[in-house]
């Protein structure tokens, strides 16, 4: 019996090619987009190389100055002095790293100008993060203390400057200075905001040391706690120190406001708060926003699918009348329509999966998201497919039940219309 249901469903889909194509496109496109978005979010939120300790890492990337005038509010990255004086030696913190935000820097190769993103860090940066080295090793805290001009480059920069030749120990120009290459790492995807750069150099290798006295600037703090259970104690001590922190101008400002964020909160902060949307960085605040976006995206194709299924069933009233006249039961008719919907949804799911794999491959090999390494989330695909099946059943079971209850004579006369 089930084999007959499949055969009839296949014949019906071939007979109504337009409805079939529109339904397959609606299901496949929706699943493809959801898979792609899920892969991007996974790339942002899930721990991965080099940020493998994100579950016990805190970040300080945004500081706010409240003025004596209530309308005076200044937001931005903290300066090196603020981080160095008030965040070192926090309790339950194993390692502290201070690093600079990425900046565009130029170099020249055979007279050709090459622009790349440089991040200046201390030695602890390499001990908190776990980069994959293709050549050499990271520079150390001693290198930073001694202001040695050493640099770590990524695989793409090695290819650009040296082709297929080894780069270890070679000299390279960075912002008008000569640096020795200490190591080469695999490309870090742009989504990994903390680790991402194309070259890394010691903070002390900067042309000037004026940053040492800056309370506001373009630096960030990275704090590796013993465990996530210690976060509250670390944050409490941080807030206590911040209340006594020096102000750039006590006559103009009255206090600092900042918090140490978890990795997940840091992603929210970079995606939303720094984009000017004004939302807080708390995940529970943004979860309804994400759910609302998903609902808004899923609703139009769902309504389209429901309307197509209803139209497809209503136009088959005469067929229903004939089958009922030859003894088909209401249960058999309902099962037939449900098998058709399930088969259509599964076919759309296969198309959506294939489309998402192709799209992710295109994104990874394009320059849309630099050094992207997006991977499909099959669990999300399964949930999305189950949701599509649920809507497919919902859109088919009620019209099928209505049609199955018609008297054969009424159905043959078009009573379902």
The CA distances from residue 288 to 183, 271, 291, 292, 293, in Å, are 44, 16, 5, 6, 9
CB atoms within 10 A of CB 5: 18
Q: Which of 120-124, 331-335, 359-363, 404-408 has the lowest mean pLDDT?
A: 404-408
**What is the total count of domains within the chain?**
2
Same-domain status, 292 and 399: yes
Same-domain status, 206 and 139: yes
Which residues have C-beta within 8 Å of that of residue 42, sequence separation ≥ 6? 374, 375, 377
Output the pTM of the full model. Answer: 0.74
Mean pLDDT of the chain: 82
Is 146 inside a domain boundary? yes
The CA distances from residue 339 to 137, 273, 325, 409, in Å, are 59, 47, 21, 25
* pLDDT of the residue at 277: 39
- The span from the CA of 211 to the CA of 81, in Å, is 7
- Angle subtended by helix axes 283-314 and 263-271, to nearest 10: 70
| Residue where a domain terminates, one of 224, 258, 293 | 224
Please say whether the beta carbons of 151 and 182 come within 8 A: yes
* pLDDT of the residue at 103: 94
Q: What would the mean pLDDT of 266-289 be, rounded to a whole number? A: 50
Q: What is the pLDDT of residues 322-339, one digit of tens each?
A: 666 666 676 777 777 777
Q: What would the mean pLDDT of 303-332 be, rounded to a whole number? A: 68
Q: What is the pLDDT of residues 97-131, one digit of tens each?
A: 999 999 999 998 888 899 999 999 999 999 999 99
Please say whether the beta carbons of 182 and 102 come within 8 A: no
Segments forming the whole domain that contains residue 25? 2-46+285-412
Same-domain status, 109 and 220: yes
Same-domain status, 215 and 126: yes
- The span from the CA of 385 to the CA of 31, in Å, is 7
**Which structure tokens are listed for 301?**
């194709």
Is 59 inside a domain boundary? no
Choose between 178 and 397: higher pLDDT. Answer: 178
CB atoms within 10 A of CB 231: 18
Is 272 inside a domain boundary? no
* pLDDT of the residue at 278: 41
Which residues have C-beta within 8 Å of that of residue 229, sequence separation ≥ 6? none
| Residue where a domain terminates, one of 176, 193, 224 | 224
Is 16 inside a domain boundary? yes
* Widest Cα–Cα separation across the chain: 95
* pLDDT of the residue at 398: 64
Model confidence band, residue 280 (pLDDT cutoffs 50, 70, 90): very low
Is 14 inside a domain boundary? yes
Please say whether the beta carbons of 59 and 98 come within 8 A: no
Interior angle at CA 155, CA 151 and CA 158, nearest 5:
65
- Whether the upstream peptide bond of residue 50 has omega within 30° of 0, thus cis, is yes
Is 61 inside a domain boundary? no
Please say whether the beta carbons of 84 and 98 come within 8 A: yes
| Residue where a domain terminates, one of 187, 203, 224 | 224
* pLDDT of the residue at 161: 94
Is 128 inside a domain boundary? yes
Residue 328: half-sphere exposure toward Cβ, Cα within 13 Å = 22
Same-domain status, 177 and 297: no
* pLDDT of the residue at 148: 95
* pLDDT of the residue at 373: 77
Residue 385: half-sphere exposure toward Cβ, Cα within 13 Å = 19
The CA distances from residue 45 to 41, 79, 258, 270, in Å, are 6, 27, 22, 12
Same-domain status, 301 and 366: yes
Which residues have C-beta within 8 Å of that of residue 17, sequence separation ≥ 6? none
Please say whether the beta carbons of 161 and 172 come within 8 A: yes
Model confidence band, residue 221 (pLDDT cutoffs 50, 70, 90): very high
Same-domain status, 34 and 127: no
Is 298 inside a domain boundary? yes
Q: What is the pLDDT of residues 55-64, one digit of tens each?
A: 899 999 999 9
* pLDDT of the residue at 399: 65
Same-domain status, 38 and 101: no
**Which structure tokens are listed for 255?**
């206090």
Choose between 282 and 171: higher pLDDT. Answer: 171
Same-domain status, 153 and 37: no
């Amino acid at each position: 019996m089930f084999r007959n249901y499949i055969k009839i469903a296949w014949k019906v889909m071939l007979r109504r090619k337009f409805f079939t194509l529109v339904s397959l496109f609606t299901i496949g496109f929706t699943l493809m987009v959801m898979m792609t978005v899920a892969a991007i979010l996974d790339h942002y939120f899930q721990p991965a190389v080099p940020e493998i300790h994100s579950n016990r890492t805190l970040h300080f990337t945004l500081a706010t100055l409240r003025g004596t005038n209530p309308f005076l509010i200044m937001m931005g990255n903290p300066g090196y002095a603020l981080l160095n004086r008030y965040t070192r030696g926090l309790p339950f913190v194993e390692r502290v790293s201070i690093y600079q935000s990425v900046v565009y820097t130029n170099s020249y190769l055979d007279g050709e100008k090459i622009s790349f993103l440089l991040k200046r860090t201390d030695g602890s940066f390499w001990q908190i993060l776990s980069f994959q080295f293709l050549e050499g090793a990271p520079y150390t805290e001693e290198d930073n203390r001694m202001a040695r001009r050493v640099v770590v480059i990524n695989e793409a920069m090695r290819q650009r400057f040296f082709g297929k030749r080894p780069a270890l120990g070679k000299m390279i120009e960075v912002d008008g200075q000569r640096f020795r290459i200490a190591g080469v790492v695999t490309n870090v995807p742009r989504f990994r905001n903390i680790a991402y750069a194309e070259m890394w150099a010691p903070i002390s290798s900067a042309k000037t040391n004026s940053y040492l006295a800056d309370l506001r600037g373009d630096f960030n703090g990275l704090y590796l706690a013993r465990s996530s259970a210690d976060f509250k104690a670390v944050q409490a001590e941080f807030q206590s120190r911040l209340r006594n922190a020096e102000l750039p101008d006590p006559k103009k400002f009255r206090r600092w406001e900042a918090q140490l964020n978890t990795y997940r909160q840091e992603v929210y902060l970079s995606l939303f708060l720094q984009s000017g949307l004004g939302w807080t960085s708390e995940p529970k605040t943004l979860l309804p926003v994400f759910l609302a976006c998903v609902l808004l995206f899923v609703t139009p194709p769902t309504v389209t699918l429901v309307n197509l299924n209803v139209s497809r069933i209503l136009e088959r009233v005469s067929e229903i009348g004939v089958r009922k006249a030859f003894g088909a039961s209401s249960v058999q008719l309902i099962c037939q329509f449900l098998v058709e919907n399930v088969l259509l949804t599964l076919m759309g799911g296969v198309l959506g999966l294939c489309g998402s794999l192709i799209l992710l491959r295109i994104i990874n090999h394009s320059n849309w998201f630099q050094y992207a390494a997006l991977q499909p989330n099959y669990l999300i695909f399964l949930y999305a497919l189950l949701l599509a099946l649920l809507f497919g059943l919902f859109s088919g079971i009620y019209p099928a039940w209505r049609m199955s209850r018609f008297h054969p004579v009424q159905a043959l006369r078009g009573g379902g219309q």
